[in-house]
Amino acid sequence: KTVASPGRGILAMDESNATCGKRLASIGLENTEANRQAYRTLLVSAPGLGNYVSGAILFEETLYQSTTDGKKMVDVLVSQNIVPGIKVDK
């Protein structure tokens, strides 16, 4: 019921490390865990995200990753009433 909330969508942030690296390279950054963490922190901590997103598809690394200020990414999503899910295909 939460995932199918009217007016809210799904955030697909399940890029592999290689794909995330391409995004980082396009702005002159190295593909490091710290840079991927900062990028994902930016996504999950956007003000009001939960008003527009009801679910988020995560890459496996993100499931266990914390934000740059030490909060679990999953907890940040849940605190905004966003249901986290994980990409299971390889």
pLDDT digits (tens, 9 = 90+) for 40-70: 999 999 999 999 999 999 998 999 999 999 9
pLDDT at residue 90 tops 70: no
> 25: pLDDT confidence band, cut at 50, 70 and 90?
very high
CB 61 within 8 A of CB 36: yes
Q: Please state the rounded mean pLDDT for residues 14-22.
A: 93
Number of domains in the chain: 1
Report the alpha-carbon distance of residue 22 to residue 37 in Å, rounded: 15
Range of the domain at 27: 9-86
Identify whether 1 is part of a domain: no
Identify whether 19 is part of a domain: yes
Identify whether 48 is part of a domain: yes
Q: What is the pLDDT, as a whole number, of residue 78?
A: 97
Strand partners, 22: none
Identify whether 29 is part of a domain: yes
Identify whether 3 is part of a domain: no
> 1: pLDDT confidence band, cut at 50, 70 and 90?
low
Identify whether 59 is part of a domain: yes
Neighbours of 8 (CB within 10 A): 18
Identify whether 4 is part of a domain: no
Report the alpha-carbon distance of residue 47 to residue 44 in Å, rounded: 9
Identify whether 2 is part of a domain: no
Q: Evaluate the CA torsion angle 59, 27, 80, 6 in order and state its sign.
A: negative
